[in-house]
Amino acid sequence: MLKYLADENFHNHVVRALRRQFPDLDLVRAVEVGLESVDDPGVLDWAARNGRVLLTHDVRTIRTFAQERLEKGLPMAGVIFVPQPFSRAQIIEDLALLAECYSPEELASNWLHLPLR
């Protein structure tokens, strides 16, 4: 099962809904683990060290930093890019499905874009 880290700017209503609908889902927010105001490379590093897939809306900058990590041979637990605007119901369903069906090894050093369909 995947473990998630929602970055500082990830929509709180999605986090709250995921926690309410899927209480066994392992999801933390960046601000809950001391990552408030930490730069993107630092957040990716923390996620990698803690085996957490990063949830973000920030395709432009996170993708660049994620690619740099991979080019340097650094580990990455994975990134899931969530578009804005989005269907909250679809995103919640997709994130729950991914957490249940993917293993950490399948998403390591990769990224996905939601929605799945």
The tally of CA atoms less than 13 A away on the side-chain side of residue 101 is: 7
| Weakest-pLDDT range from 18-22, 51-55, 83-87 | 83-87
Please state the domain count of the chain. Answer: 1
First to last CA, the chain: 21
Q: What CATH number did the domain enclosing 72 receive? A: 3.40.50
pLDDT at 109: 97
In terms of residue numbers, what domain contains 20? 3-113
> What is the percentage of the chain residues whose pLDDT exceeds 70?
100
Position 85 pLDDT exceeds 90: no
Handedness of CA 22, 100, 51, 8 (dihedral sign): negative
As a whole number of angstroms, the distance between CA 19 and CA 67 comes to 30
Tell me the pLDDT tens digit for each residue of 62-84.
999 999 999 999 999 999 999 98
